[in-house]
Amino acid sequence: MEINVFCIKTEKSCENQPILAFLNSNRYYNGIAMTESLSNAVLAIDGGGTRCRVACEVAGIVHSVETGAANVSTDFDASVLQMKSGITQIAQTLAVDVQDLTQLPAFVGLAGVTDDHIARRVQSALGLTRARVSDDRPAALRGALASQDGLIAHCGTGSFVASQKDRVMRFAGGWGPVLGDEASAQWVGRFALAEALNSVDEIQVTSDLTQKLLDDFGSSAGIVEFAGRATPTEFGALAPMVTTAAVSGDDVARKIMQAGATYIADMAARLGWQPEVAICLTGGISPYYAHYLPAAMQSEIRPPSGEPLTGALALAKEVPHEHC
pLDDT tens, residue by residue, 186-204: 999 999 999 999 999 999 8
What's the pLDDT band for 4 if we cut at 50, 70, 90? very low
pLDDT in tens, 103-145: 999 999 998 898 999 999 999 999 999 999 999 899 999 999 9
Give the model confidence (pLDDT) of 243-273 as tens digits: 999 999 999 999 999 999 999 999 999 999 9
176-298 and 20-143+308-316 share a CATH fold: yes
User: What's the whole-number mean pLDDT along residues 2-14?
Assistant: 33
pLDDT digits (tens, 9 = 90+) for 29-43: 444 444 457 778 999
Three state DSSP letters for the chain? CCCCCCECCCCCCCCCCECHHHCCCCCEECCEEHHHHHHHCEEEEEECCCCEEEEEEECCEEEEEEECCCECCCCHHHHHHHHHHHHHHHHHHHCCCHHHHHCCEEEEEEECCCCHHHHHHHHHHHCCCEEEEEECHHHHHHHHHCCCCEEEEEECCCEEEEEEECCEEEEECCCHHHHCCCCCHHHHHHHHHHHHHHHHCCCCCCCHHHHHHHHHHCCHHHHHHHHHHCCHHHHHCCHHHHHHHHHCCCHHHHHHHHHHHHHHHHHHHHCCCCCCCCEEEECCCHHHHHHHCCHHHHCCECCCCCCHHHHHHHHHCCCCCCCC
Model-level pTM greater than 0.85? no
Return the CATH number of the domain spanning residue range 20-143+308-316.
Answer: 3.30.420.40
Q: Which fold has domain 176-298?
A: Nucleotidyltransferase; domain 5 (3.30.420)
| Confidence class for position 210, pLDDT limits 50, 70, 90 | very high
Average pLDDT of span 293-304: 96
Per-domain boundaries in the chain:
20-143+308-316, 176-298
8-12, 81-85, 153-157, 213-217, range with the lowest pLDDT: 8-12
Give residue 260's pLDDT. Answer: 97
**Is residue 215 over pLDDT 90?**
yes
